[in-house]
Chains A and B, each alone.
Chain A
Amino acid sequence: MSVSIDQIFVSGKRWLLSWLAGTPDWAIQIASSLINIFALLAVFLTLFALMSVLERKILGRIQNRYGPNRVGPFGLLQPVADGIKMLVKEDIVPVRADKIVHFLAPVLIAATAILALGIIPYGRNLTPFTIDGGILFFFAVGSTTELAVFMAGWGSNNKFSMLGAMRAIAQMISYELPLIITVLPVVMIVGSLTPDTIVAAQDGYVFGFVPRWFVFTPWGATAFILFFVSGLVESNRTPFDVPEGESEIVAGHMTEYSGFKYATFFMAEYIGMFAITGLATTLFLGGWHAPVRALEFIPSYVWFFVKLGALLFVYIWLRGTLPRTRVDQIMNFAWKFMLPMAFTCVIAAAVWHYAGRGLRGWLWSLVVIAIAYTALSIVLDTRRKFAPRTYRFAE
C-alpha cells in the first residue's frame, strides 16, 4: 500500500503514456518530457503562489501585525488577486530603453530559474530529467542568470537599473565560488555528479538511528551552512538584497519594469529560491529520505517537500529578522571568510574519508574545521581597528 502511494506519480505517468502505445518512440519521448515539464510547472507555480502569501503572513506575525487576511479564507486567495492586478497593470517600457533586451531579460531570467528545477530528485524515481552531470547542469544554468540580470540593467537605460545590476552581478559572482566549492566535498565523497546517486548515498542509518545525511558530519554541517548563506545571496534575499535596496537605488535592475514583467522577475526570484533550497536538501539533508526508520511509510516526496518547506521558512524568518548588510561587508564576507571556509570543508571531507568515515574521521574533521574557523576569526578580527570613518570620492 505505502509503496503504491509512494510511486503514485510514477504509475500515473506510466498510465498516461500507455495511451500512446503504438506510436513511434520519439513521440513517446516528447510526451514523457512534456508531462514532466507540465508537472514541474504546476507544482512550483502553486508553491510560488502559496509561498508569496505565506511569506507575507509569517512576516506579519514576526512584525506583530496580521498580514493579508481580506481575500478568501485567511487571505489564502491573495496570490490570485495579486496575479490579476499584475496582469491588468499597464506595461510601461521607457522610451530610451533597448526594447528587445528589455523584453528578453525577464524571459531569460525565468527560463533559467525553471530549468534548474529539472534535475532535482523530488522523491523515489521522481527526478524529472536525469543528466549525468546534473549538479554541473544546475550551476551552468544558474550562471546564465548573471547575463539576464545584466540585460535587465543595461536594457532599461536607467542609472539605478545599471547600478543594481552591477551590484547583483558582483555579489552573484563572488558567492558563486563558495556555493560551488561547498558542493565539492559532497561530490568527492559520493564520487558522482548525479543528484540521484548523491541521494542514494545518504540512505541508511549510523548506529541504527542517526540518518546517514551529510549534514550530520562536521564538514557537511559547515558546508551546508555556507551553501545556505551563499544561496541566500544568489537569490538576492534579505539580508543580502543590496541589488534592490529600495532606500538607495529604487529597485535595482527591476526599476523600469512594471506589470507582468515585474511579476516574472518576482517569480524567477522565488523559483530560484526553491531550486537552491531543493539542491541543499538533495546534497546535505538526505533528499527524499525519511529521518527516522519508523516514519518511512510516509511517501518520499512528502519528506522532500517538508524539508524544502523548513528551509524556506528559515529564509522568511531571516528576512523578518535581519537588516540589510552593506555592499562592502557582503564582499569582504565572501572573499575573506566564506571562500577559505569552503576550502576547509573540502580538506575536512578528505580527512573524514581517509580516517575511515567513522567516529574517528568525524572527530578529526571537526578538529580541522575548528582550527580553520578559529584562525580565520583571529585574523579577521577588526575590533581594535575602528578609526574615525574616512571617505574617498571618485577623482
Chain B
Amino acid sequence: MAELLRVEGLTKRFGEFTAVSRVSLEFQKGILTSIIGPNGAGKTTLINLITGSLHPDEGRIFFNGEDITRLPTDKRVKKGISRSFQVMNIFPRLTVFKNVMLPVLARLGKSMRPFSRLEDHPDALAEVERILKGVGLWERKDSIVGELSHGDQRLLEMSIAVASEPEICFLDEPTSGMNPIERVKVLELVKKMAADGRTTFVIVEHDMDVVFSLSERIIVMARGEVLADGNPAEIKENQQVRDVYLGEEL
C-alpha cells in the first residue's frame, strides 16, 4: 500500500499539559482507519495538527512525501487534506446548495471570480448536484442549513468535506449526537464513499460498534501517545487496550 501521509515525532503542548507526545504514524492510501481513545487522549489535537488548525511544537508532517508541517490550512486542502469537525461546522445562513457549491468552486479555482453569477459555472453546478444526490440532500437544496435536522447537517458537513475531492479526509466523531437511524445513514455513506476509492478516510469515533464495523485499521491513543495500532482483531485482543480503554465492553 502506498504511503499517503506520515507524521514523525509530533508533539503539542498547551502550557504544562502535553496533548500529543512524540506521535509517529503512517496512513496508507485506501485503508479506512479509526482513531479511538478516552477523552483527552489527544485524538482531535492530532487531527488539528495534521490538518493545520494547530501547529506542532515538535515533529514533522509529510503528505505524499512533501513536508507540509508549516503549510497553512487552505494550502493543505489544495494538496488534498480535508476534515469534518467534532462540533458541527457548516455555513448556517446559507442554503444546502451554497454550502456545497463553495468547496466545489474553490476546488475548480473559481471562488475568486468577482462578477460572474453562480449559475455561470455549469461544471460546478453539475458537481454539486452529483454530491447532494449522493447524500440524499438534493431535494432540500434550497433549504437554509440551520433548518435541517442534526443528522442531515452531519451529512451535509461530510459533503462539504469531500466536495474538495481530498485524498485523505478526517471525520471527527461523525455520528455524535445522532439517533440510531441517522447513524446508520452516516455509516452507509462513509462506507460508500470509502468504497469508491477516491478518498482515504480516517475517523475519530467513540462508538465501538461503528469503529469495529467500519475500520480496517485502528489506532488507540491514550495520554497523547499511541497505545496500539493494528487491525480490529488485534486491537480487540490487546490486553493493554482493554485495560486502558475498552474494558469489558468487548
A, B in one complex: no
